[in-house]
Structure 1
Amino acid sequence: MDQDGGSEFSSQSLHSPIPIIYENVGRSGVPKDDILILLDDMENKVENLRKRAFEIEEGRDTMFSVLHAFRHSRLLETLPDVDREEIDRYVERIYNRCSTIDVCVKTVRDKPQIEALYKINGIIDRLITEIQQDPTGSKKKCMSFMNSCTSYSEVGMEDRNFEQALLGCTVDDQKRVRRRLQGLMTYIEKLSMPF
């Protein structure tokens, strides 16, 4: 048993090439229970790793959004060409560096979840094609989709079909959809700003 009374699957084993599993755990006196304790601890560690990977992925996507917004900022228009080119190279270097971050957390889905995600993506893709023709209507529709993603929404501002499809998705996919809609809303709001 380890010194601090915690799990036998230590953080040290996460960093060593061969994890250390103590054969003589003896916590409960029942081998199966001891193994289940180890496996529960490992499962918690995997979930923490997934959570951190999602946070890294979200941070990278936020950086891409900020860099994109910065590239199209009116502030750059006020600079002389030489300065603007220098800043553009700097932004490009950061963008390329950020592109080297590749995080992959796979989401396991059953057939109904795959179909629900396909439906959600189709709805959002149609919204994207409507943005240029009707920014105001697209903004309202995007807001109704966002309200469908949360329990704290204005009454009557949800899209029930979208909400029903979203509820068929995995929790991870629901979070990704919410982030995608937030990014889309930011884009729509920037489009509707007067020049």
Structure 2
Amino acid sequence: MDVDPVPNTLAFPVAPSSSGLPKIDENSALEVKAPKQVLIELLDVLEGHVENLRKEAIKLEEDRDSLLSSLDSVRNSDLLSELAENERDDVLHYVDRIMNRCHTIELKIHTQRDKPQEEALHQINHLIDCLVVGMKTDPDGTHAKCVAYMNACSSNLVQGITDKNFESALLGCTIDDQKRVKKRLQGLLSYMNKLTVSSDND
């Protein structure tokens, strides 16, 4: 994975490594600064690389999830009903092949959480899972609830009200989890809106 280079702003000489990351040139670095300051400044630069790496990994994870969502929408497309059985089977086999290929890509970005943050995230995931289940049994009510959850993620209301219970649980999550939850809800709301448009056109 390519990571944008972090400019070397260190006030001591560094020697390039095979990865392009800075390394201490111990022969001359100690002539300029105290050892601890040399190490701390080098670590500051390396920390910048780590944060860039996390951002790139999160972006790739989002791209993969978006691809899986698009493939799922093809699998559930109304156009399939217009195909002959053998044509439909060909398309579905093609979808399965791509999805299986996509599932071979494993990305894991670990987010450090304490016990209350784990519990808050568990509560949030349960509430969102209930939305997914409710899409079939009560699409209008589920859409309104999804909007209320989205309002809890933003200072600008989409429409309607904010779900205070969801907001309280969300505030108990880490910043990284809050961002992921918002993007997950945005994708879910977009999917619901597409279903509504499709139903209106039938």
- TM-score > 0.5, shorter chain as reference: yes
Is 2:74 the counterpart of 1:66?
Answer: no
Aligned partner letter, 1:158: T
| Pair 1:109–1:5, CA change in 2 (3 A) | closer
Using the size of structure 2 for normalisation, the TM-score is 0.81
Give the whole-Å Cα distance in 2 for the aligned partners of 1:131 and 1:43.
43
Alpha-carbon deviation of 1:152?
A: 1.8
Give the whole-Å Cα distance in 1 for the aligned partners of 2:61 and 2:179.
12
Is 2:126 the counterpart of 1:122?
Answer: yes
Alpha-carbon deviation of 1:54?
A: 0.5
Please, which of 13, 19, 23 is the counterpart of residue 13 of structure 1? 19
Number of equivalenced pairs? 189
Moved more, 128-137 or 39-48: 128-137
Please, which of 163, 168, 171 is the counterpart of residue 159 of structure 1? 163
| Pair 1:52–1:38, CA change in 2 (3 A) | same
Moved more, 134-143 or 174-183: 174-183
| Pair 1:9–1:41, CA change in 2 (3 A) | farther
The correspondence of residues 21-170 of structure 1 with structure 2, limited to 5 A, is 21-23=24-26, 24-26=28-30, 28-154=32-158, 157-170=161-174
Query: 4+ residue runs of structure 1 moved beyond 6 angstroms?
Result: none
The residue aligned with 1:180 is 184
Contact 2:146 2:189 survives alignment (8 Å)? yes
Residues 169-195 of structure 1 deviation map (CA, whole Å, 9 limit, x = unaligned):
011111221122223223433444324
Give the whole-Å Cα distance in 2 for the aligned partners of 1:117 and 1:14.
37
Using the size of structure 1 for normalisation, the TM-score is 0.84
| Pair 1:114–1:85, CA change in 2 (3 A) | same
Q: Percent identity?
A: 46
Contact 2:17 2:23 survives alignment (8 Å)? no
Give the whole-Å Cα distance in 2 for the aligned partners of 1:159 and 1:57.
28
Contact 1:27 1:34 survives alignment (8 Å)? no
Contact 2:117 2:174 survives alignment (8 Å)? yes
3-state SS of 2:137 partner: coil
Give the whole-Å Cα distance in 2 for the aligned partners of 1:110 and 1:172.
13
User: CA RMSD of the aligned region, Å?
Assistant: 2.5
3-state SS of 2:25 partner: coil
Give the whole-Å Cα distance in 1 for the aligned partners of 2:91 and 2:80.
8
Structure 1 alignment gaps of length 5 or more: none
Alpha-carbon deviation of 1:25?
A: 2.6
Higher-RCO chain (CA-CA 8 Å, sequence separation at least 6): 1
Give the whole-Å Cα distance in 2 for the aligned partners of 1:36 and 1:70.
51
Moved more, 20-29 or 168-177: 20-29
